[in-house]
Amino acid sequence: MIIIQNGTLVSSQRTWRADIALEGGKIHQIAPRLTPRPGDEVVSAEGLLVFPGFIDPHTHLDMDNGLLTTADDFPSGTLAALCGGTTALVDFATQDRGGTLKDALALWHRKADGRSSCHYAFHMAVTDWNETTRQELPAMVEAGVTSLKVYLAYDALRISDFVLLEILKLCRNLGLQIGCHCENGDLVNFLQKEELGLGHTGPGGHPASRPPVVEAEAISRYCYVARLAQCPVTVVHLSSAAGLEEVRKARRGGQTVYAETCPQYLLLDESRYGLPGFEGAKFVMSPPLRSPADVEALRRAVAEGEIQTIATDHCSYHYATQKILGREDFTKIPNGAPGLEHRPALFYSSFVAPGLTGPETMCALLAENPARQYGMWPQKGCLAQGSDADLVLWDPRAKWTVSAAFQHQKVDYTPYEGMVLTGRAKAVYLDGVLAAQDGEPVRTGLGRYIPRATIS
Ligand code: URP
Ligand code: ZN
Ligand code: ZN
């Protein structure tokens, strides 16, 4: 048995001083004081916060975008996650056009099984809707894949409104969660062409061709279609004040709309696209970084409880060999950026340390809400007797500097280079085993697949 003594435990509702005992991969007991027996290992958590392991519900590992494969795969991505305090992630298994959901799921298992250092689950990204796909949904639920993603942008991935309505109706009936990449693909295509026609070939053409209204229109349409289908929905990687307004509007009309945003939209702004040379390409992601006013609006929304989850949308491409392929044409810069390793510390440092939110909110946004929303509660995201012993001993006073030189993400940059952060994962337990300490791995390869439940 491991007994963690004198820590300050965190839930979404409160913090409290207690000891916590781990045995057989589970939380065995929580009490104000636990007396160790001979043979027990005692760990002091004096001065530390004890969080349930953080969950990143939006990653793209080992993803082939048709031309390139992401820099991080499951071995590197899950290891990086673990070192930063993330003990579980939900990656997007993505259906090939012309392929089945079953094949996509089998492929993602081959990518992840036996190769992961934190736990993992899969959403299913549906890109080719047909009779076979329709028939496959119950089997997905059976296999523990209880959430779908659809895209309204990217020609190789996006679905029509006709298909969206049918999928949403089925999700409602089967109790599946659904997330949507909300950008209007037709508008993006038009604006990209216009930017290139004006000779704007550099990274600055990226935000210009995907302005907030492109996101807001898609969120509005998604929510209206969801209203027709009477289906609760999630807007993933919300990036703009205009998009947030559409979420609010749907909620005011009585709809359930979950909102996910990401550290990049809370900490960085569009000025990055004006960096010298081709540096702006490091920040080419969709949706793009926004204005300082958008950043402020989202930060306020986080503090006021309007956002349910903070994910990373981790989708890493090497700057020197992959981003560079768009040197002459911004539409050829692979979209996405890394963040998986740094999300907990970025959030703690920019929200909890300055007092904008308490650690309870961090627990809600990074652990409890993703666990509840995606069918992993109360095994995960929860410090309670019988829950999985995935937890993070968090040092609220640690000061450190983010640098690609010291990261475990297998990519040659980080968007957060040089940021001085407060707070860091001191020790990370996976199934009751010390798996990372002070940002470095202790035990690798312990990650397991998490079959998830439906929540209705
Ligand atoms: O630019 C991004 N976000 N790439 C990853 C795929 C997606 O849109 O979520
Ligand atoms: Zn997306
Ligand atoms: Zn994504």
| Local structure of residue 236 (DSSP, 8 states) | -
* Residue 454, SS3 per DSSP: coil
Q: Is the pLDDT of residue 185 over 80?
A: yes
Paired tokens of 396: 């609220």
Q: Distance between alpha carbon 235 and the CA centroid of its chain, in Å? A: 12
Per-residue pLDDT, averaged over 385-410, amounts to 98
- 264: Cβ below 6 Å to ligand 1? no
The number of the ligand 1 atom at minimal distance from the alpha carbon of 336 is 1
pLDDT, tens digit, 9 for 90 and up, residues 250-300:
999 999 999 999 999 999 999 999 999 999 999 999 999 999 999 999 999
Q: Residue whose CA is closest, atom 8 of ligand 1? A: 286
Please give the pLDDT value at position 327: 97
Residues that place a CB less than 5 A from ion ligand 2: 181
Query: Which residues have their alpha-adjacent CB atom under 5 A from ion ligand 3?
Result: 313
Residue nearest to atom 5 of ligand 1 (CA): 336
Give me the residue label for tokens 């950026």: 337
* DSSP characters over 141-206: HHTT--EEEEESS-TTT---HHHHHHHHHHHHHHT-EEEEE---HHHHHHHHHHHHHTT--STTHH
398 three-state secondary structure:
strand
Parallel/antiparallel/unpaired status of strands 177-181 and 233-235: parallel
Q: Is the CB of 157 under 6 A from ligand 1?
A: no
288 φ/ψ sector (left φ>0, alpha ψ -120 to 50, else beta)? beta
Q: What is the pLDDT of residue 456?
A: 65
Give the separation between CA 58 and CA 313, rounded to whole angstroms: 5
Q: Give the mean pLDDT of 361-389.
A: 98
Rounded to an integer, what distance in angstroms lies between the CA atom of residue 405 and that of residue 414?
Answer: 9
Instruction: Give Cα separations from 225 to 161, 368, 381 (angstroms).
Output: 8, 28, 31
Per-residue pLDDT at 359 exceeds 90: yes
Q: Beta strand pairing status for 420-430 and 433-437?
A: antiparallel
Contacts of 135 (CB under 8 A, 6+ apart): none
The torsion defined by the Cα of 231, 366, 73 and 447, in degrees rounded to 10, comes to -100
Q: Strand order of the sheet with strand 86-94?
A: 54-59, 86-94, 119-125, 147-151, 177-181, 233-235, 257-261, 309-310
Name the phi and psi angles at 277, rounded to 5.
60, -135
- Nearest alpha-carbon partner for 310 in 274, 251, 258, 356: 258
Decide: 12 in ligand 1 pocket, CB within 6 A: no
Instruction: Quote the pLDDT of residue 104.
Output: 98
Retrieve residue 132's tokens.
Answer: 């076979």
Q: Which residue has the tokens 């204005």?
A: 291
- DSSP per position, 7-67: EEEE-SS-EEEEEEEEETTEEEEEES--PPPTT-EEEE-TT-EEEEPEEEEEE--S-B-SS
Q: What is the pLDDT of residues 202-214, one digit of tens each?
A: 999 999 999 999 9
Beta bridge partners of 14: none
Beta bridge partners of 22: 2, 27
- β-bridge mates for residue 51, sequence order: 392
pLDDT, mean over the chain: 98
pLDDT at 455: 81
pLDDT at 356 over 90: yes
Tell whether the model's pLDDT for residue 428 goes beyond 70: yes
Q: Could you tell me if the CB of 286 is within 6 A of ligand 1?
A: yes
Instruction: Decide if 118 contacts 425 (C-beta within 8 A).
Output: no
Residue type, 83: C
Q: Is the distance from CB of 288 to CB of 237 less than 8 angstroms?
A: no
pLDDT score of 124: 98
Q: Could you tell me the distance, in angstroms and rounded to a whole number, from the CA of residue 86 to the centre of ligand 3?
A: 17
Tell me the best of 56, 60, 154, 236 to mutate to test the pocket of ligand 1, counting ligand atoms within 8 Å of each CB and taking the most: 60
Return the number of other C-beta atoms located less than 10 Å from residue 233's C-beta: 27
Q: What is the mean pLDDT of residues 20-43?
A: 98
| Short-list 115, 177, 170, CA closest to 144 | 177
